[in-house]
Amino acid sequence: MPTLTRLLNAEEVELDPKYQAQAGKPVAVTPLGEIFLTVATADRAGEQQRLDKEIARIETEARAVEEKLKNKSFVDRAPAAVVEEHRRRLKDFSAQLAKLKQARESLN
């Protein structure tokens, strides 16, 4: 775990799959799961800004995938595996957005 501690530039890293975040604590949503940050003096405004930026980025990506899936020509011509991958990505984006929006709301 020293590598992870160094990568995060953290004093300490604790892995707890059963951890329940407290309201107002910063959270990062990754493809591997959620990372909860315990910060002595959290920069609430900075964290809200970071979450807003991430929400906007994922919404943009989700819209692009959604538009492709609405395009009958794309769905008809693309291999089934590609269409299914786009459907999976859209589902993943929706899940990420829900978690990010919940994290953003908990900072209020």
What are the average pLDDT values for consecutive 10-residue runs of the chain, which has 108 residues? 71 76 71 69 74 95 97 96 97 94 81
Residues with Cβ within 8 Å of residue 93, at least 6 apart in sequence? 58, 61, 62, 65
Q: What is the pTM of this model?
A: 0.65
Residue with tokens 């993943």: 92
Q: How much is the pLDDT for 42?
A: 55
Segments making up each domain of the chain, as ranges: 2-106
Phi, psi (rounded to 5 degrees) for 28:
-120, 130
Q: How much is the pLDDT for 106?
A: 78
CA torsion sign for 3, 4, 9, 10 is: negative
Query: Which helix (H) or strand (E) covers residue 82, if one does?
Result: helix 80-106
Q: How much is the pLDDT for 92?
A: 95
